[in-house]
Amino acid sequence: MSKFIDMTGQVFGRLTVTEYVGERKWRCTCSCGNTVDVMRQSLVKGRSTSCGCYRREHTIAKSTTHGKSKSRIHYTWKNMLQRCQNPRNTSYPDYGGRGVKVCARWQEFENFYADMGDVPEGMSLDRIDVNGDYEPDNCRWANPKVQARNKRNSIRVDGIELKYLAEELGINYSTLHARLWRAKRRAEEEGTA
């Protein structure tokens, strides 16, 4: 038989032991004012640290809604996290699988929403640097045309996507691409590339 150890006065989280009530149970007073009987092992091993008030408070805090759970912005946020953090997501190899991360601030929806706001009509979330992470300085809302240009396989000249450059110069994309290819080849032949 083990030796009786008086735990009266000891504090375990929010619980203060007040008296032994028998059968290895101790009466405790919680910092919220409630009284609860707890097994010695639960106290010592840290399984019981409050009368249950902490769990209730935590549940209420977690379930307090931002009112956006079924909105497009919340759907966008959840999909971003899934692409980067869930290996079972079909898009994971192109995002999380190649090292794209979601910044710590955006792990919480409220922060993402505060930074990005609602999704504008006809737009979707776009990373400016396609190899960069999802973070405030690297994300914007973009229309499908901008999204289509901003891909890993897009050709860039001094950081400007070739399709955009062709449009700005008023030159057909294929023509500009061919001219660049020929100029690169000539430079390689002359040894100046």
Please give the Cα distance from 17 to 7 (Å, whole number).
6
156: its two tokens: 């860039």
Domain boundary among 23, 40, 63: 63
Q: What is the 3-state secondary structure (H, E, C) of the chain?
A: CCCCCCCCCCEECCEEEEEEEECCEEEEEECCCCEEEEEHHHHHCCCCCCCCHHHHHHHHHHHCCCCCCCCHHHHHHHHHHHHHHCCCCCCHHHCHHHCCCECHHHHCHHHHHHHHCCCCCCCEEEECCCCCCECHHHEEEECHHHHHHCCCCCCEECCEEHHHHHHHHCCCHHHHHHHHHHHHHHHHHHCCC
pLDDT of residue 75: 95
Residues 35 and 55 in one domain: yes
Contact by Cβ (8 Å): 22, 37: no
Residues 74 and 140 in one domain: yes
Q: How many structural domains compose the chain? A: 3
Residues 75 and 140 in one domain: yes
Residues 56 and 15 in one domain: yes
Residues 88 and 130 in one domain: yes
Domain boundary among 63, 78, 105: 63
Residues 130 and 82 in one domain: yes
149 falls within a domain: no
Residues 132 and 118 in one domain: yes
103 falls within a domain: yes
3 falls within a domain: no
Residues 73 and 140 in one domain: yes
56 falls within a domain: yes
115 falls within a domain: yes
pLDDT of residue 116: 95
109 falls within a domain: yes
- Return all residues near 2 (Cβ < 8 A) that are at least 6 apart: none
Residues 105 and 41 in one domain: no
Residues 73 and 50 in one domain: no
Residue 11, beta-bridge partner list = 16
Q: Which domain holds residue 94?
A: 68-144
In order along its 193 residues, the chain shows pLDDT tens digits of 578 889 999 999 999 999 999 988 999 999 999 999 999 999 999 899 999 888 888 776 665 567 788 899 999 999 999 999 999 999 899 899 999 999 999 999 999 999 999 999 999 999 988 889 999 999 999 998 877 766 655 566 666 666 667 777 788 867 876 777 787 778 778 876 6
Output Rg (C-alpha) for the chain, integer angstroms. Answer: 30
Residues 28 and 57 in one domain: yes
Domain boundary among 144, 165, 183: 144
5 falls within a domain: no
